[in-house]
Amino acid sequence: MFKIVLFLGGLLCLLAVAGCKSKSASITSLQRKQAASLISEAEFALTIRELARAEKLLTQACALEFDNGKTWISLGMTRVRLGRKPAAKEAYESALKAYEEAYALQPKSAQLYLQQVYLLALMRRMTEARSVLAEIQKKHGADPEVRSFVQTRQLDAMVQAPQFKEIAL
């Protein structure tokens, strides 16, 4: 009995130590290369309109490289086109989380913050998108991209675009 308790205690300590490491740091360069290959193949599948194949490949890529917001967005878009909106929402939520984590590591990057606005708009969470945009304006008001985005009311124009409506929830 003592050995089992000791084993479980050791296992819990090992899990606790493993949990302290950055998730992105746990992605190996081999996994990133494999994900890049899968993404490339998925892009080809999308080109020839093989949506189910692209979804499968993008799902595999996201499992390998879970911190890549762009891949999660592609997966979400593909799922919307397949009519799988609940699954698309999960992918968009994962993309949002990836961009939030990336921004936390690079707080001077306004682009990572603008991506969050884009994702919130895709999920039709417009009040939250506008709130985040206002926060971006406070933190990155001098950034030319942010200034242009706000002054030209790109958020409103974006959500009205037919291409955006095709991939939004």
Condensed to tens digits (0 to 9), the pLDDT of residues 123-165 reads 999 999 999 999 999 999 999 999 999 999 999 999 999 999 9
pLDDT at 23: 56
At residue 11 the predicted structure's pLDDT band, cuts being 50, 70 and 90, is very low
DSSP state of 68: -
pTM summary value:
0.83
Which amino acid, residue 64? L
Q: DSSP code of 26? A: G
Token code pair at residue 5: 């308790």
User: pLDDT value at position 24?
Assistant: 60
| pLDDT, tens only, 32-61 | 999 999 999 999 999 999 999 999 999 999
Q: Tokens at residue 135, please?
A: 């926060």
Alpha-carbon dihedral sign for residues 128, 131, 137, 138: negative
